Amino acid sequence: MISDFNLISEIKNNSLVMATEGYINNNGGQKITEEFYDKKNDDINKVILNLEKTKVVNSIGISFLIEIIEKLNESGGKLVFTNLDPSIDKTFTIMGLFHFAKKADSIEEALTME
């Protein structure tokens, strides 16, 4: 499959912070979940997904995000989205993601969220 997706991540204050760039489709979703499973450990109970450089997400990409949300919920953790483009915000709202995940305007705000 074709992809123009990039991902970088870091651990900050026991939170896994991932920043995406490009189309979150099957390939993008896979990369995010692989990074999540790779970096997630018992010390990390918050995952922050910075979507500042992502303008489009398809439903396959969303299914990967739901998988991460479910995994985190099982261990009492949470996913926080930041820097959402208005169209992605609307997409996530319609798909019901904010029932189980949170959103913040910035990474700093997400880090301080309870």
Partner 1 sequence: MVKDELNLLVDKLNLQVKSFQEGFEVLSQARNLKDLAKHFSHILRGNLLTLNVNIFYFEADGSNWSELYIHDEKSFDFFKHFEKKTVPEICFLDDECFKVAITLPLIDKSFFGLIVGGKIDKKDYSEIDKISIQIFMQLLGNAYQAFVNQKKEKELVFSLNNRVLQLNSLIDTGIELSSIQNTDSLLELALQRSVVLTNASAGGVFIEADSIELQQLTFPPGLDKEYLENSDNKLRTNFELLGKDYTFILVEKESRQGVVEFDDTDEILLGAFARQLQSAIENEHLHKEALEKENIKKELSVAAEIQKKIIPDSLPKIEGYKIAGINIPSKEVGGDYYDCLELNDGRFALIMADVAGKGVPASLLVSTLNASLNAYLDLQVPLEQLAMKINSIIYNASPSNKFITFFISILDPSTGELDIVNAGHNPSLLLRKDNTLKKIDAGGVAFGMFDMGLPFAGEKLVMERDERLLLFTDGIPEAMNHLEEEYSDERLDDFFCRNRPESAQKFVNDLVEDVKKHTGATPQSDDITALYLIRN
Q: Compare residues 53 and 90 and give the one whose CB is closer to partner 1.
A: 90
Are 63 and 32 in contact by the 8 Å Cβ rule? The answer is no
Are 7 and 38 in contact by the 8 Å Cβ rule? The answer is no
The only residue of 14, 34, 38, 96 in contact with partner 1, by rule CB under 8 A: 96
77 part of the interface to partner 1, by CB under 8 A: no
Closest contact distance (angstroms) between CB of 62 and partner 1 is 8
Binding window for partner 1 (CB under 8 A); candidates: 7-15, 24-32, 45-53, 106-114: 24-32
51 part of the interface to partner 1, by CB under 8 A: no
34 part of the interface to partner 1, by CB under 8 A: no
The only residue of 6, 34, 53, 90 in contact with partner 1, by rule CB under 8 A: 90
Closest contact distance (angstroms) between CB of 90 and partner 1 is 7
2 part of the interface to partner 1, by CB under 8 A: yes
DSSP the chain: -----EEEEEEETTEEEEEEES-BSHHHHHHHHHHHHHH--TT--EEEEEEEE---B-HHHHHHHHHHHHHHHHTT-EEEEES--HHHHHHHHHTTGGGT-EEESSHHHHHH--
